[in-house]
Amino acid sequence: MMILITGGAGFIGSAVVRHIIENTSESVVNVDKLTYAGNVESVLPFSENGRYHFVQADICDAQLMANIFEKFQPSAVMHLAAESHVDRSIDGPADFMQTNIMGTFTLLEATRSYWSALAECKKLAFRFHHISTDEVYGDLEGTDDLFTEETSYDPSSPYSASKASSDHLVRAWHRTYGLPVIVTNCSNNYGPYHFPEKLVPHIILNALDAKPLPIYGDGSQIRDWLYVEDHARALYKVVTEGKVGETYNIGGHNEKKNIDVVKILCGILDELKPISDNPAFVSSSFTHYEELIIFVKDRPGHDVRYAIDASKIERELGWIPEESFETGIRKTVGWYLNNENWWKRVLTGEYQLQRIGDK
């Protein structure tokens, strides 16, 4: 089986690549534009693996996508390529419209053209798996409500609106053209190789560098946290066992307030990298990382609570997360402490100097 993964140099995409290469016999072609959040160093150990191929390409380039389909003849597509940072979407929404909407449209058309020409047995086995977010559902009002696969869409940001649009496109291509699609919507991911602009790595790295730990508003926003390697396992299970036309919500069963997440991170850092052992604090009077917390003006349209009902994927496909928030977040902090070279190259921009063509 050859799986075409778009955005496979990104945070979640690279976790999917690592899971497939390390735990299955499938082959992967990783198609990534390598924008600022794409980092080939996240999958560098596989660069010489015969089951792994990398192509630097923009999913908005129709001809190039057609060429990739013709060359690699995939039996499944896992579409993860997306602009995904809410703050960036507020400051500059155009890139989100282009990549998340037009890019998905272009990929769908390239896939449809390729799929339509397949032999009947290969057409029946083919899957287009679109990976989306719980943010398309908007804000939960009640403290006990959960997002289900039937929850109405109500996106709040340019990012979530663009992802909602792409979800609708994928389902339309299934309804109109019969393309065998599956959609998944996931909760907040965290774990190794996370780009430092996101909350968890941003807090870890700021704390290690004795910088302020900024929290929007009062930090009461609630998110359901999903360890990225658990998510990768779920995505592979969906693309290989999921039912065509279905949607599966994937969550970690770990609702936490942002302020509590930050305090937990500070506590683990106090234990694993005490301020007394951190050269960044040589001339400071701080004794605990939590003292670095500051509260900043909330961002526009900030949703208060997300929470996923993941009972369908457990019931129908037998997937449940292996990591609790406590075990996953400790692994995450440990990874950043032990992989300083990776994140320092990201912070300095050196990682962008490395571009790898298809081997």
Could you give the 3-state DSSP secondary structure of residue 198?
coil
**Set 52, 159, 190, 306: catalytic member:** 159
* Residue 236 structure tokens: 């592979």
For residues 100 and 155, the answer to whether their CB atoms sit within 8 Å is no
**Set 134, 224, 309, 323: catalytic member:** 134
For residues 303 and 221, the answer to whether their CB atoms sit within 8 Å is yes
> Hey, CA dihedral for 143, 144, 146, 150, is it positive or negative?
negative
Classify residue 88 as exposed, middle or buried by CB count within 10 Å of its CB (0-12, 13-18, 19+): middle
**Set 32, 58, 83, 135: catalytic member:** 135
- In degrees and rounded to multiples of 5, residue 224 shows phi and psi of -95, 120
Q: Is-catalytic flag, 270?
A: no
Q: Is-catalytic flag, 135?
A: yes
Phi-psi region of 178 (alpha: psi -120 to 50; beta: other; left: phi over 0): left
Q: Is-catalytic flag, 134?
A: yes
For residues 214 and 292, the answer to whether their CB atoms sit within 8 Å is no
CA distance 90 to 321: 32
Q: Please identify every residue annotated as catalytic.
A: 134-135, 159
